[in-house]
C-alpha cells in the first residue's frame, strides 16, 4: 500500500476578510501579460462521479464529499511566453526594484537546458499558446521561479482542488450540464481543434471565470495517482497524495485530441513512461517530454503563505526521474 500523505504546507485554515480575498494579476517584469489569478472560494463538493454517469471509470468512485479551503487559481493555462521567460535566461528581464534577496533566490532556481527540437512541435509559441511537453518536475520548478521572482508561493493544484475549481459549483457531468453537444462552446477537443492546441481564453469560461479547464492541453496536478484513493478516509478533507514513486501522477482536464468523455469533470488520467518514449537521452530528460504535445499545467496559490522552511520542503528535488 502506498503511503498516503496529507501536507499542512498545502492547506492552512486561516481567517480572512472577504474583501481581502479577490482575484488579482501578478505582474512579472518583462512579460506583456501578467499572471491572472481567480479567487476560488472555500466549500464542499462531491468528488468523483456517480455510478449512473455515462462513460464513468472505476477509479472515479466512490463519489464522496470533500472539503476544500479557499485558494487562487490561474485563469489561463501557463503560456509559452511565461514559461520561456523562466527557462531561457536570455529572455528574462530583471526588475529594477529587485533586491539582492530576490536576485539570490532567482539565481538558485534550476532551469532546463535548451531542447534539441522545437517543443511545441509546430503548434505555436506566440503569446497566448499554452506550454506543453514539460514534466511535472519542470512545472514545479517553474513555480519555484515564480516564488523567487514575486515572493508569493505558487504550486501545482492538488487533484481535488482541480476538480473543485473545474466544477465551479456544478454537480453535472460537465460544468455546463450533461449535454456533451455543447462542448464546442467551452473546449478545444477532437471535434473542433483541427489537431492542435489553440490560444487560451477564446471559448467560454466556467462559472468561476476559469478558461480551458476542459481540453486544449491536459494539466498536471500535484498528486500521485492511487486508483482506489477515493475509498480512503484521508480523501475527505483537502486531500493530497504526495508523490513517492516515479509513476504515476494525476493528469486532469483532457486535451485537444480527446473525445468529450475524457473531458468530464471527474475523468482521471495518469502519467506513464511513454510520455518520454522518443527521448534518445540516457538517462531521459528530467525536464522535457517527447510525446506529450497535449500536456501542460496551470498554477494555484494558497491563501496563507507557508513558512520559508515549508516552501523549501515543497520545492526539494523529488526522487530521480520523476516525470
Residue 256 CA to residue 34 CA, distance in Å, equals 25
Angstrom distances, CA of residue 13 to CA of 34, 40, 70: 28, 14, 9
Model-wide pTM > 0.85:
yes
**Residue given cell 501536507 in the structure block:** 7
Residue 250 in grid coordinates = 494525476
pLDDT (tens, 9 = 90+) of the chain, 323 residues, equals 344 444 435 554 444 556 679 999 999 877 888 999 999 999 999 999 999 999 999 999 999 999 999 999 999 999 999 999 998 765 565 665 666 677 777 887 888 888 878 999 999 998 899 999 999 999 999 999 999 999 999 999 999 999 999 999 999 999 999 999 999 999 999 999 999 999 999 999 999 999 999 999 999 999 999 999 999 988 788 999 988 777 899 999 999 999 999 999 999 999 999 999 998 888 888 889 999 999 999 999 999 999 999 999 888 876 554 55
| Closest to 30 in 3D by CA, of 127, 156, 151 | 127
- Asked whether 175 and 207 are in contact (CB, 8 A), the reply is yes
Angstrom distances, CA of residue 302 to CA of 27, 188, 238: 18, 29, 12
- Asked whether 168 and 176 are in contact (CB, 8 A), the reply is no
Residue 275 in grid coordinates = 510520455
The structural domains of the chain, ordered by start, are 18-315 (3.90.1580.10)
295 in helix, strand or coil? strand
Residue 85 CA to residue 53 CA, distance in Å, equals 42
Amino acid at each position: 500500500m502506498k503511503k498516503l500523505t496529507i501536507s499542512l504546507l498545502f492547506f492552512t485554515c486561516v481567517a480572512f476578510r472577504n474583501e481581502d480575498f479577490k482575484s488579482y494579476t501578478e505582474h512579472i517584469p518583462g512579460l506583456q501579460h501578467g499572471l491572472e489569478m481567480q479567487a476560488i472560494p472555500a466549500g464542499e463538493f462531491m468528488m468523483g462521479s456517480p455510478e449512473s454517469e455515462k462513460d464513468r471509470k472505476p477509479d472515479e468512485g466512490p463519489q464522496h464529499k470533500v472539503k476544500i479551503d479557499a485558494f487562487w487559481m490561474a485563469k489561463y493555462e501557463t503560456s509559452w511566453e511565461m514559461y520561456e521567460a523562466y527557462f531561457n535566461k536570455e529572455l528574462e528581464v530583471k526588475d529594477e526594484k529587485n533586491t539582492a534577496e530576490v536576485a539570490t533566490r532567482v539565481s538558485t532556481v534550476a532551469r532546463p537546458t535548451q531542447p534539441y527540437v522545437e517543443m511545441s512541435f509546430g503548434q505555436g509559441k506566440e503569446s497566448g499558446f499554452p506550454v506543453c511537453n514539460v514534466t511535472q518536475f519542470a512545472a514545479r520548478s517553474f513555480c519555484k521561479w515564480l516564488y523567487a521572482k514575486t515572493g508569493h508561493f505558487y504550486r501545482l493544484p492538488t487533484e481535488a482542488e482541480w476538480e473543485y475549481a473545474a466544477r465551479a459549483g456544478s454537480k453535472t457531468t460537465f460544468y455546463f450540464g450533461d449535454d456533451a453537444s455543447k462542448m464546442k462552446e467551452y473546449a478545444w477537443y477532437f471535434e473542433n481543434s483541427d489537431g492542435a492546441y489553440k490560444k487560451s481564453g477564446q471559448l467560454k469560461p466556467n462559472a468561476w471565470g476559469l478558461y480551458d479547464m476542459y481540453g486544449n492541453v491536459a494539466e498536471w496536478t500535484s498528486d500521485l495517482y492511487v486508483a482506489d484513493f477515493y475509498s480512503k478516509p484521508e480523501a475527505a478533507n483537502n486531500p493530497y497524495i504526495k508523490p513517492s514513486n516515479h509513476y504515476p501522477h494525476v493528469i486532469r482536464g483532457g486535451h485537444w485530441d480527446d473525445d468529450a468523455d475524457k473531458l468530464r469533470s471527474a475523468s482521471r488520467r495518469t502519467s506513464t513512461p511513454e510520455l518520454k518514449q522518443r527521448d534518445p537521452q540516457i538517462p531521459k530528460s528530467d525536464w522535457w517530454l517527447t510525446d506529450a504535445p497535449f500536456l501542460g499545467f496551470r498554477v494555484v496559490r494558497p491563501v496563507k503563505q507557508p513558512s520559508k522552511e515549508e516552501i523549501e520542503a515543497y520545492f526539494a528535488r523529488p526522487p530521480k526521474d520523476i516525470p
